[in-house]
Amino acid sequence: MARFSGRFPWFAPTRRHTGRSPGGNGRRARDGGPPKPLIQRLRALVDVHSVAGQMFLLQVLIVLLLVVAAVITLLVQARSDRFQGARDRSLASAESFAHAPGLPAVVQKGHPGASVVLQPLTEDARKRGGVDFIVVMDRKGIRFTHPIPNRIGKKFVGNIKPSLAGRTTIESVYGPLGHEVQATVPVKDAKGKVVALVSSGMRVSRVSSAVDRQLPVVIGAGGAALALTTAGTALVSRRLRRQTRGLGPAEMTRMYEHHDAVLHAVREGVLILDADGRVLLANDEAQKLLGLPADAEGQCLADLGLDSKIAELLTSGRAISDEVVPVNDRLLALNIRSTDRQGGPPGSVATLRDSTDLLALAGKAEVTQSRLRLLYEASVAIGTTLDVRRTAEELTQVAVRWFADYASVDLAEPVLSGGEPPVGSYREAPELRRVAVTGISDDHPLYRPGEVHTYLSLTPMATGFVNGQSVLVPDVRAAGDWYPDDPGRLELVMSHGCESLITVPLQARGVRMGIVNFWRSRERPFEEGELSLAEEMAARAAVCIDNARRFTREHAMAVTLQESLLPRGLPEQSALDLAHRYLPAQTGVGGDWFDVIPLPGARVALVVGDVVGHGLHAAATMGRLRTAVQNFSTLDLPPDELLGFLDELVNRIDEEAIAANDEATVAGATCLYAIYDPSSGRCALARAGHLPPALVHPDGTVAYPDLPASPPLGVGGLPFESVELLLPEGSNLVLYTDGLVEDRNHDIDTGMHQLATALAHRDRTPQETCEAVLGALLPDRQRDDIALLVARTRLLPPDRIAEWEVPADPAAVAEARANLTRQLLEWGLEEEVFTTELILSELVTNAIVYASGPIGVRLLYDRTLICEVSDTSSTAPHLRFAAGEDEGGRGLFLVARMAGRWGTRYTAEGKIIWAELALR
């Protein structure tokens, strides 16, 4: 019953305290539940785990056994009756027809005459006799008659040998009409000779039996017995449910076991009293707590000698919740509830719990909770930054807030710079620097931050540092062994109220980095249990300090590497007045870079770029890209072509990283490349995913030139576009990286607007512009590198530029030399005339011989003297060593020897061969 009660609601017991049984007979239950379906009642009834179900199944088996036995008996009797009836009829019909007068004479006629005479007679006799067939046959068994005409003349199915011998044969066969009982009788003539045979038979199934009338009676009686059994079992089951309140044997056994376990195994007293205050039940714990005798059950509580207060509470009958009552030397938590609620018997039940030890445990739990709170606060507040000094300050602040009156941290000098103190044992405490100190007041005599000191050998600080062990000094005044070592300062410390000390060395990964001191006043000295708390707090701080130290070292290494890869200084040139700023990120170096590259023709290239990511890899990639830009610039390529070569380089770097399965090192970068020509004031720019430069006009207005937005380097597959701008003299071209204008608090458009506002001033020098921009846009917490390059444009004076055309005639070389000589004399460069004439002659002669079209000559007087010869050919000359018998090949060799630098650059119209001479 217990197992089915959860699945079949009809059989589920109602609330046990009411004493009500669930409704049945298809009606609504007393507690308002819906009527239970009949099928659920039957399922509950046949539950083999209940007593009623087992009784029901036993009765059903008995009834079924009786019914089956009766039916089998009737069936056996019916079978016997059918065979006997079929035998009697068949035998009577066969004998009657076989002894008919004149039959032997007709049979002796033979076929077919006998068949014609006998067929109607046998059919008439068969119908009157109620059999299925009457067959007349000869001695060979050939039929003269048969109910089925086509069977006439065929051999009889059956055993005729006994009949041929004059005996009657009765047998059961399966003939043409089915399962039959047939009797075969001999036909004899007057002499007693067997002349023919007569067989009569009928199907067994045609014989009726009394079983057909008795079987329904037997089955009906069995059904009635089964119904009575079901009804009786249901009544018994219902009565059992009422008496056991819906509990089956297993549940009752389990309830008793639980009852016994609750009363005798739990450490809580249970006392049940009736309405008269008589003890109905008292478990072992209740007897122990109240001091009751073993035979207390059945006695009146007032007669058991209990304290008057506890006896009055137990017999009061009112509800009590967790009231603490002193009993003897114990404190008992008392709970009382009435048992007559919801229809139960009158009385009360009381539970008693010994809470004497809870007070001590509560105090210990509070201390433990406060220590856990301190460790949690320490884990959250210490190590918020990767700064050694700030981490030490956080340790002292947390300690003073929760643990000590004063706290100080001393560290070895190498730790502050990211170094590592020597590993191993110490004979004496090294020189330490006070990094942080925090206390309940600022007028303390402890060492101040920044002071360097060495603890004397007998002090707890020196002892703890040398041994690597924490030291607890509950009372400093009682520590006479080290008191004389430093009486002056110690006296000041104690007079300030610091008379209890815990000193803990700061060590991580086996490296001793410093020491932390905790001070308290005499009113609440440190206890032994607080030493482990101080060690745990110091251990967490030591790990954070060690992480900050290593970060400081790695950051310094990365910054050093980055600075070594950036320009050490700006090259000398006259085209631009330059100023720059580079600020590495506070959390780690990045891949931002800038460069200023002098180009032939007094031109200058300006570069600014940004490699994606941070760390050493980004810095190394930046160095590779900067070197590549410098190499590509020697080819004197336009900005868009140079970015194309740079894009291929980044793609190769990515392919190398992918081939090495190092996806973390895949490069990605942006770049802005500009070439400024002071002779014309034109500036060609191209960018690859980089922010556009800011252009500050001489009147102070700021604009962002509309440069085509090309993809970043490394994307590949798309060409870059360049734009040429005409910059007035005195304009400021500002190149920068995204770290300057991008911030978490605003989008990049806001940053660019702030940059334009900071630049919108006239008559500022580039240095002043850099200071103003950083003052306005530098974030409080710099998370990315910042590269800033400000270039004020200059123009080469027109009187320092000379240019003319030379006809493509060898005779014109002399005129070109004459023009050159006049111009150099006008500039006061008499000493350069001979060398420059020789260089110009060779360049012009080469252009006349190997090129076509107009030939142009231009002289630029800047820091150097620049001679340029232009033509329309795209074929560049190459320097080679001429053999002794060669007629040519010596001109460029002379140019290379006499000029400081020379080279070729291509233009849209052809090429320019230039030579640069240093001025004396």
SS3 23: coil
Q: How far apart are CA 625 and CA 835, in angstroms?
A: 38
Q: Positive or negative CA dihedral for 172, 177, 182, 187?
A: negative
Does the structure show a pLDDT above 60 at 44? no
> Out of 82-91, 244-253, 789-798, 837-846, which region has the weakest mean confidence (pLDDT)?
244-253
Q: How far apart are CA 869 and CA 872, in angstroms?
A: 11
Q: 687: closest CA among 725, 721, 647, 733?
A: 721
Regarding beta strands 702-703 and 452-453, do their DSSP bridges make them parallel or antiparallel, or are they unpaired? unpaired
Q: How far apart are CA 127 and CA 866, in angstroms?
A: 150
Q: Sheet of 452-453: strands edge to edge?
A: 452-453, 432-439, 406-412, 511-520, 500-508, 471-473
Query: What average pLDDT score do residues 25-34 get?
Result: 42
pLDDT band at residue 8 under the 50/70/90 scheme: very low
pLDDT band at residue 673 under the 50/70/90 scheme: very high
- b/e sequence 145-167, b meaning 16+ C-beta within 10 Å: bbbeeebbeeebbbebeebeeee
Which residues lie closer than 8 Å to 333 by C-beta, 6 or more apart? Answer: 322, 323, 324, 352, 353, 354, 355
Q: What is the pLDDT of residue 9?
A: 32
Which residues lie closer than 8 Å to 635 by C-beta, 6 or more apart? Answer: 642
Highest-confidence segment of 442-456, 541-555, 724-738 = 724-738
Q: What is the pLDDT of residue 48?
A: 56
Query: What average pLDDT score do residues 234-244 get?
Result: 71
Does the structure show a pLDDT above 70 at 883? no
Does the structure show a pLDDT above 70 at 22? no
Q: How far apart are CA 48 and CA 652, in angstroms?
A: 81
SS3 169: strand
pLDDT tens readout for residues 677-697 = 999 999 999 999 999 999 999
Q: How far apart are CA 241 and CA 95, in angstroms?
A: 73
SS3 156: coil
Give burial (CB, 10 Å; 0-12/13-18/19+) of 819.
middle
SS3 255: helix
Which has more pLDDT, 444 or 605? Answer: 605
Q: How far apart are CA 222 and CA 201, in angstroms?
A: 38
Regarding beta strands 330-338 and 347-354, do their DSSP bridges make them parallel or antiparallel, or are they unpaired? antiparallel
Q: How far apart are CA 319 and CA 308, in angstroms?
A: 18
| Cα dihedral value 89, 90, 93, 95, nearest 10 | -120
Kindly state the percentage of the chain with pLDDT values over 90. 22
8 A C-beta contact, residue 748 and residue 698: no
Q: What's the whole-number average pLDDT of the chain?
A: 81
Q: How far apart are CA 719 and CA 700, in angstroms?
A: 34
pLDDT band at residue 819 under the 50/70/90 scheme: very high
Q: How far apart are CA 455 and CA 428, in angstroms?
A: 9
Q: 131: closest CA among 83, 170, 77, 180?
A: 180
pLDDT tens readout for residues 424-434 = 667 778 889 99
SS3 598: strand
Q: How many CA atoms lie within 13 A of 234 on its CB side?
A: 15
Q: What is the DSSP string of 36-96?
A: PPHHHHHHHHT-TTSHHHHHHHHHHHHHHHHHHHHHHHHHHHHHHHHHHHHHHHHHHHHHH
Query: What average pLDDT score do residues 484-495 get?
Result: 66
8 A C-beta contact, residue 482 and residue 460: yes
Query: What average pLDDT score do residues 2-7 get?
Result: 34
The backbone torsions φ and ψ at residue 384, rounded to the nearest 5 degrees and listed phi first, read -70, -20
Does the structure show a pLDDT above 50 at 29? no
Q: Sheet of 669-677: strands edge to edge?
A: 590-599, 603-614, 669-677, 682-688, 722-726
Q: How far apart are CA 389 and CA 513, in angstroms?
A: 13
Which has more pLDDT, 44 or 825? Answer: 825
| Cα dihedral value 301, 305, 308, 313, nearest 10 | -30
Highest-confidence segment of 486-500, 573-587, 878-892 = 573-587
Which has more pLDDT, 477 or 408? Answer: 408
Q: What is the pLDDT of residue 143?
A: 85
Q: Peptide bond before 719: cis, by omega within 30 degrees of 0?
A: no
Query: In Å, what is the CA distance from 739 to each residue of 2, 124, 557, 558, 782?
Result: 75, 128, 21, 18, 8
- Dmax of the chain from CA atoms? 185
Does the structure show a pLDDT above 90 at 727? yes
Which has more pLDDT, 779 or 34? Answer: 779
Q: How far apart are CA 173 and CA 525, in angstroms?
A: 120
Q: What is the pLDDT of residue 43?
A: 57
Q: What is the pLDDT of residue 465?
A: 87
Does the structure show a pLDDT above 90 at 124? no
Does the structure show a pLDDT above 50 at 112? yes
DSSP H stretches of helix in 322-355: none
Q: Helix 833-850 vs helix 891-898: angle between axes, to the nearest 10 degrees?
A: 150
Q: What is the pLDDT of residue 26?
A: 39
Query: What average pLDDT score do residues 379-402 get?
Result: 87
> Out of 7-11, 193-197, 389-393, 415-419, which region has the weakest mean confidence (pLDDT)?
7-11
Could you identify the residue written with the tokens 């020098």? 765
C-beta atoms surrounding 73 within 10 Å? 13
Q: How far apart are CA 455 and CA 175, in angstroms?
A: 130
Angle among Cα 191, 195, 198 to the nearest 5 degrees reads 125
Q: How far apart are CA 561 and CA 548, in angstroms?
A: 20
pLDDT band at residue 631 under the 50/70/90 scheme: very high
Q: 614: closest CA among 635, 651, 589?
A: 589
Which has more pLDDT, 189 or 44? Answer: 189
Which has more pLDDT, 718 or 412? Answer: 412
Q: What is the pLDDT of residue 358?
A: 63
pLDDT tens readout for residues 745-773 = 778 889 999 999 999 998 899 999 999 99
Name the E strands within 525-602: 576-583, 590-599
Angle among Cα 139, 140, 142 to the nearest 5 degrees reads 105
Q: What is the pLDDT of residue 20?
A: 38
Does the structure show a pLDDT above 80 at 212? no
Q: What is the pLDDT of residue 824?
A: 92
Which residues lie closer than 8 Å to 647 by C-beta, 6 or more apart? Answer: 688, 713, 714, 715, 716, 720
Tokens representing 562? 């980055």
Q: What is the pLDDT of residue 111?
A: 73
Q: 714: closest CA among 660, 632, 648, 661?
A: 648
Tokens representing 215? 């079987």
8 A C-beta contact, residue 913 and residue 905: no
Q: What is the DSSP string of 793-853?
A: E----GGGEEEEEE-SSTTHHHHHHHHHHHHHHHHT-GGGHHHHHHHHHHHHHHHHHH--S
What DSSP element (H or E) covers 453? strand 452-453
pLDDT tens readout for residues 256-292 = 777 777 666 677 888 888 888 888 888 888 878 788 8
Q: 156: closest CA among 177, 178, 173, 137?
A: 137
Q: What is the DSSP string of 354-376?
A: E-HHHHHHHHHHHHHHHHHHHHH
Q: What is the pLDDT of residue 300?
A: 87
Which residues lie closer than 8 Å to 870 by C-beta, 6 or more apart? Answer: 855, 856, 857, 858, 907, 909, 910, 911, 912, 913
Q: How far apart are CA 229 and CA 84, in angstroms?
A: 39
DSSP state of 527: -
Does the structure show a pLDDT above 60 at 127? yes
8 A C-beta contact, residue 494 and residue 487: no
Does the structure show a pLDDT above 90 at 639? yes
Highest-confidence segment of 171-175, 377-381, 898-902 = 898-902
Task: Tell whether pTM > 0.85.
Answer: no
Tokens representing 447? 């060492």
